[in-house]
Structure 1
Amino acid sequence: MKSSPASPPSISAARFAVNMFFALNGIAFANWVVRIPDIKAELKLPPEVLGVSLLGGAIGSLCSMVFGGYLMARFGSKQVTTLAGVLTFLSLMLPGYATNAWTLFAALFFYGAFNGLMDVSMNDQASINEKQHGRSIMSSFHGVFSLGGLIGSLIGGWLSSLHVPVSLHLTSIGLVLVLLVLLSSRWLIPTTPHPEEAHTEPVFIRPAPSLWIIGIMAFCVMLGEGGMADWSTVYLRENIQASETQSAIGYGAFSGLMMLGRFLGDGLINRFGSRTIVGWGGAIMTLGLVLGLTVNTLPAVIVGFACVGLGCSALFPCFLSSASRNPDMRPASAITAVATMAYFGFLVGPPLLGLVAGQVGLRAALFIIAAAGLFILLNHRRVQG
C-alpha cells in the first residue's frame, strides 16, 4: 500500500521556516564579519590585499547565483535551499583556517558560492510565501536577516573579546547552524521541479529590459551593504581605535537599524509607495554617512553606519518583490537576474574600497558608499509604485 504524500506545511509554518533560514544566514555572516579585523591582523594583510581576498566571496557568489534558476527549475527551491544552507554553514569554517591571502581568497570563494545559492533560493521561498499571504511581507524576511546579523555580531563580538581563536569560533558556529538548518527545513514550501524548463534555462539569466533599472539600483544598495559589512569593523578598529566590543557594536548598529527599517518597511511601502521609500532611503544613507565620516568620532561614525543600515533597509527587498511580479520573466529567473546584478555590488564594493583605501585611506574610500546612496536618491523616481 502506497503511503500518502506528506501534506504541505501551513502558511504560518512555512513563514517560520523561511524566517529561520534568513536569520541563520544573518548570524553566520555577522560572525564572519566581526572577525575580519582579527584575520587581517593575524595574516598581516594591508587593506588592498585584504580587498583582493574579499573578492573571493563575491566571485563565488556570482558563479553560483547564475545557476540558481536552473537548479531550482531542475530540483525545486526547497531542496536547493536546504542543501545550500548546509553547505554555506559548513564552509563558514574555512576562513578561520586560512594561512595567507590566497587561502583566504579560496576559503571565501567556497563560502560565497554556497551563500549566493542560498540567497537566491531562500528569496524564492520568501516570494512564494509572500504570494500565499496575499500582501507584502518580503521586507520582514530581510528584517529577520538583519536581526540575525545583530545577534551574530553580539555573539561574535563577545567571543572575539574573549580571544577565542577564529578557527574554533567559526567552526562551532557553523556546526550549530547546520543542525538548525536540518531541523527547520522540513517546513519549507515544496515546489514542483520542471526539468523541461531547466534544460531551456540559460546559464546567465539576462534581465528583461523592465528589470535593468531595478538591477542597477540593487547593485548600489548591495555595494553599500557589502562595503559596510566588510570594512565597518576594520575602520572602527584601525581608524577610530575602537575596542573589539565597540567595533562589534558598530556593525550591530548597522544591522540593528537595517532590521528596524525592514520590519517597518512593508507598512511604509504600502502607505507611501516604493518610489518614496527609495528616495528616503537614498537620502538617509548619503547624509548620515557623510556627517558621520566628517565628524569622525566613535559615536558619530557608529551613527553614520546605522544610517546606512536604515537607508538600505527596505530597498533590496522592494526590488526583489518587484522582480518576482515582473510579467516578462518567471519569478525564480527574475529574482536570480536582479540578485545577480546586485551581487556585482558585493563584487565591486569591498575590493574597490580596499584598493582606494590603499591609495587615499579608508576614510576617503567609504565616501564611495555615500555616492552610491546619492545615485539612488537621484534616480528614485524611476522606481514604479
Structure 2
Amino acid sequence: MAVLFLTIIYITFISLGLPDALLGVGWPEMYPEFGVPQSFAGIVSMTISLGTIGSSFFSGKLIRRFGTGKLTAFSVLATACALLGFYAAPHFLWLLLAAVPLGLGAGAVDAGLNDYVARHYQAHHMNWLHSFWGIGALTSPLIMSRVLSQNASWRYGYLIVALIQFALVLVLFLTLPMWRTREPRISVKEEMSDNPTFEEIRFFKFIQSKKVRAALYAFFLYIGVEATVGLWSSSYLIHAKGIDGAKAAIAVSSFFGFIMLGRFVSGFVSMRLTNRQLIQLGQVLIVLGGVLLFFAKSYPLLLLGISLIGFGCAPIYPAMLHDTPQRFGQEVAQQMMGVQMAVSYTGSVVLPPLFGFVAPKIGIETLPIFLIVYGICMFLASESLNRKVDRENKQASSQ
C-alpha cells in the first residue's frame, strides 16, 4: 500500500505538468484566431501565474484545513474544468477567465505535494516526483503538435488534455481514503500550536532576512527561466531561426522531455551528490545551453541547446524545495514552502511577459541573452544563500 500511495502521488504530478506547455506551443495558432497581438500570450501566462501565486501563498492554511488529499483532488478538478474553458473559448477574454482556476488549481497541487514529499521522503523521491511533472509537460506539446500536424484546431489539443485531467481526478477521488489514513485529522487549534503560522513568527520580520531573500531570488529566477523557455522558445525558433511550427513544437517537447529525463537521473545522482552540487551543476548547464541556442544555426544544434537548458533545469527546483526544512527549520518549513512557490510563480508572472513586451522592440532573437542573464543571476543568488547557511551552521556548531 505504501508503494501504491507513492505511485499515486507521482501520477498526480503528471496533472500539474500537462497544461504547462500547451499555451506556448498552441499560441502561434491561437493569437491570429482571437485577433490579438502575439505578446498577449504574456497576459494569459500572467493571469495563470497570479492564481498560482495566491493558492501557493495560502497553501499552508489550506492543507491544515482540508488535508493534502482532498485539496489535491479538487484542485486537479479545477484545472480540468479550466482546460475545457480554453477549448470552448469564443474570444480572448474567455481565456483570461479560464486561466484563473487553472492557476489556482496548479498552485495548490504544487505546494501541497511538494510539502508532503519534502517532509516524508528522501531527496531522490523529490527528483522523481518532478520527473513525473516532466511526463505531463512533455506529453501535452506532443499532443498539440500531433493535432496541429493533422491540420486540426488547437482547441482539440486542450480538449484531449482536459479529458486526461478528468481521468486523474477520478483516480484521486477514489483514493481519498488512502490520504486520510496517512494524514490524521488534527484540530485547527492543535495544528496552530504545533506549526506556528506566519503571524506567530512575525512573518514580515522573518521575510526580511537576507537568507530568506536570497532563497526567494533563486526561486524567482528559476521559474522565470523555465516559464520563459516554455512560452517563447517556439516563437523564437519560428521567427528568429526560420524553423517550421511542427519542428518548433518538437523542440519545446524536447525541453520538457530533458527536464523529465534529468530529474529521473538526478534521483539516482542525488544519492552521490548533495542538493547544493546538483543546483550548481544545473545552473551552469542553463547558461551553456543559452549560449548554444544563441549561436546555433542548424536545427540539430538548436535542439541540443534547448535540451541542454532543460537538462540543466531538471535538478534545481526539486533540490531547492527538498532543502527547505534544512535551510529554515522544520517549524516553518510548510509555510516557507508555500512562500517560495508563490515567489517562484511571481517569476513566471514577471519574466515571460517582460520578454514578450520587450521582444517587439529589440527582437525575439535576444531570447537566449535573457536566459543567460537569468541563469547567471540565479547562480549568484544561490551562492549567496549557501554562504549564509554555512555561516549559520558554523555559528551553531561552535556554540
Given the two structures, how large is their TM-score scaled by the length of structure 1?
Answer: 0.88
Cα deviation per residue 1:276-315 (whole Å; 9 max; x = unaligned)?
A: 2222211110121122122244323222211111111111
Residue 377 of structure 2 aligns to which amino acid in structure 1? F
The alpha carbon displacement at 1:51 in A equals 2.0
The alpha carbon displacement at 1:205 in A equals 6.6
Partner of 2:159: 171
Partner of 2:147: 159
Partner of 2:273: 272
Q: What is the distance in 2 between the residues matched to 1:370 and 1:100?
A: 36
Partner of 2:188: 195
The alpha carbon displacement at 1:367 in A equals 1.8
Unaligned runs of 5+ residues in structure 2 are 391-399
Partner of 1:141: 129
The alpha carbon displacement at 1:249 in A equals 0.9
Change (3 A) 1:165 1:373: same
Is 1:49 matched up with 2:50? Answer: no
Residue 305 of structure 2 aligns to which amino acid in structure 1? G
Greater shift after overlay, 118-127 or 323-332?
323-332
SS of the equivalent of 2:271 reads helix
Which of 98, 106, 112 pairs up with 1:115?
Answer: 106
The answer as to whether partners of 1:64 and 1:114 remain within 8 angstroms in 2 is yes
* Residue pairs, 1:168-317, within 5 angstroms: 168-185=156-173, 186=175, 189-190=179-180, 191=183, 192-196=185-189, 197=191, 201=197, 209=209, 210-317=211-318
Q: What is the distance in 2 between the residues matched to 1:113 and 1:82?
A: 13
Is 1:72 matched up with 2:63? Answer: yes
Partner of 1:24: 15
Q: What is the distance in 2 between the residues matched to 1:378 and 1:135?
A: 23
Partner of 1:341: 343
Which of 344, 361, 364 pairs up with 1:362?
Answer: 364
The alpha carbon displacement at 1:236 in A equals 2.2
Residue 343 of structure 2 aligns to which amino acid in structure 1? M
Q: What is the distance in 2 between the residues matched to 1:322 and 1:239?
A: 39
Cα deviation per residue 1:251-296 (whole Å; 9 max; x = unaligned)?
A: 1111111112111213323323222222221111012112212224
Q: What is the distance in 2 between the residues matched to 1:42 and 1:367?
A: 30
Cα deviation per residue 1:74-123 (whole Å; 9 max; x = unaligned)?
A: 11111101110111121122233444444333322331122112211222
Q: Aligned residue pairs: how many?
A: 373
The answer as to whether partners of 2:131 and 2:259 remain within 8 angstroms in 1 is yes
Partner of 1:7: none
Q: What is the distance in 2 between the residues matched to 1:296 and 1:79?
A: 49
The answer as to whether partners of 2:124 and 2:266 remain within 8 angstroms in 1 is no
The answer as to whether partners of 1:32 and 1:170 remain within 8 angstroms in 2 is no
**Percent of aligned pairs sharing the same letter:** 21
The alpha carbon displacement at 1:73 in A equals 1.0
Greater shift after overlay, 206-215 or 241-250?
206-215
Q: What is the distance in 2 between the residues matched to 1:74 and 1:358?
A: 46
Q: What is the distance in 2 between the residues matched to 1:247 and 1:259?
A: 19
Q: What is the distance in 2 between the residues matched to 1:67 and 1:87?
A: 17
Greater shift after overlay, 326-335 or 173-182?
326-335
The answer as to whether partners of 2:42 and 2:353 remain within 8 angstroms in 1 is yes
Unaligned runs of 5+ residues in structure 1 are 1-9
The alpha carbon displacement at 1:135 in A equals 5.5
Partner of 1:61: 52
The answer as to whether partners of 1:27 and 1:151 remain within 8 angstroms in 2 is yes
Which of 345, 350, 353 pairs up with 1:351?
Answer: 353
Change (3 A) 1:212 1:175: same
Q: What is the distance in 2 between the residues matched to 1:32 and 1:126?
A: 28
SS of the equivalent of 1:137 reads helix
The answer as to whether partners of 1:289 and 1:370 remain within 8 angstroms in 2 is yes
Q: What is the distance in 1 between the residues matched to 2:259 and 2:325?
A: 22
The answer as to whether partners of 1:353 and 1:366 remain within 8 angstroms in 2 is no
Cα deviation per residue 1:1-45 (whole Å; 9 max; x = unaligned)?
A: xxxxxxxxx321121011111112222333444212211232243
